[in-house]
Amino acid sequence: MAVPIAVLDCDLLLYGRGHRTLDRFKLEDVTDEYLVSTYGFPRRFIYYLVELLGASLSRPTQRSRAISPETQILAALGFYTSGSFQTRMGDAIGISQASMSRCVANVTEALVERASQFIHFPEDEATVQSLKDDFYGLAGMPGVLGVVDCTHVAIKAPNAEDLSYVNRKGLHSLNCLMVCDARGVLLSAETHWPGSLPDCAVLQRAALTSQFETELHKDGWLLGDSSFFLRTWLMTPLHIPETPAEYRYNMAHSATHNVIERTFRTIRSRFRCLDGSKGTLQYSPEKSSHIILACCVLHNISLEHGLDVWSLPATGHMEQPEEEYEQMESMDSEACRIRQELLLTHFS
């Protein structure tokens, strides 16, 4: 006799009836310690996300049961912070692994839609000056509006023919260009660049370059390492410092630029889906890019709420292809003049 096979409809689980334990998990029934250990964030932060994303995660349905925004957010946070769709996590909130995956997709898109709200350069003069003052307080480097660098996130191979995502180590990755302030708050995040592109090529094509060359502050600059070319708005270290002033400039530059490396480490510590310890992101480049950006948004929101990610212990690792580049000084005479003036004015 034929045995009927039940086919689980993910949409039914996510938005409809059929799963009697969908609402069994209640935030008020567990401790903050449990929430932080399992989902990475305390209750008040999760409630904030429910308020922020709730409208996007609820859609009209005539079905009698639906996974609540609260549960969708818990599922997504569980994945972001653990890098796994473990059955026990789905069991804890009463949904299947397939539904967890769908929850991650929904929450990710809701966060990406709000990226510009939480990741942006300041515009008013007082905030810009405060930004510069914070950087100056680190190592005496004046005029700094942000520090910029790239980091790679491993992804699954899109297909056998597409080599554009293969980085120098032979791994498939996205090369992500980010800028942060002195506290580690992200001011810009472009997470979609193929891993085969070196950092200098990513910056050349990035919206960040257009933004600074056409719109942004003429009285300040970003700091970038030697994988980038010197520009009027991007100060890089001197390749071979010779004078005491040049050594002081390079030391101040390095101490200030280190903020972005520290920020990368702490983002990977909090969001284990990005650190490679659970394997690569098993999504297309586009979806992987959105997951990375969603984690960047959460990183900024967590700092806004006083959650100091820099106090987290470092965990896991992310495969990082070491940049192999020939150090070349910029042919931009105006950029060279600006850096020389900076040396004479502040480091001589």
pLDDT digits (tens, 9 = 90+) for 119-131: 999 989 999 999 9
Q: What is the pLDDT of residue 105?
A: 94
pLDDT tens readout for residues 191-241 = 999 999 999 999 999 999 999 988 756 689 999 999 999 999 999 999 999
Range in 48-62, 191-205, 281-295, 321-335 the model is least confident about? 321-335
**The pLDDT of residue 150:** 97
In this predicted structure, the answer to whether residue 318 has a pLDDT above a threshold of 50 is no
Per residue, what are the HEC states of the chain? CCCCCCCCCHHHHHHCCCCCCCCCCCHHHCCHHHHHHHHCCCHHHHHHHHHHHHHHHCCCCCCCCCCCHHHHHHHHHHHHHHCCCCHHHHHHHCCCHHHHHHHHHHHHHHHHHCHHHHCCCCCCHHHHHHHHHHHHHHHCCCCEEEEEEEEEEEECCCCCCCCCCECCCCCEEEEEEEEECCCCCEEEEEEEEECCCCHHHHHHHCHHHHHHHHCCCCCCEEECCCCCCCECCEECCCCCCCCHHHHHHHHHHHHHHHHHHHHHHHHHHHCHHHCCCCCCECCCHHHHHHHHHHHHHHHHHHHHCCCCHHHCCCCCCCCCCCCCCCCCCCCCHHHHHHHHHHHHHHHC
pTM of the shown model: 0.87
Q: For residue 64, what pLDDT is reported? A: 40
- What mean pLDDT is predicted for residues 253-272? 95
Output the pLDDT for position 310: 52
Determine the pLDDT at residue 167.
92
Q: What is the rounded average pLDDT for all residues in the chain?
A: 84
State pLDDT tens for residues 188-201.
999 999 999 999 99
Q: Residue 143 above 90 pLDDT?
A: yes
Q: Domain locations in the chain?
A: 32-58+66-117, 119-283+329-347
pLDDT-derived band at 95 (thresholds 50, 70, 90) equals: confident
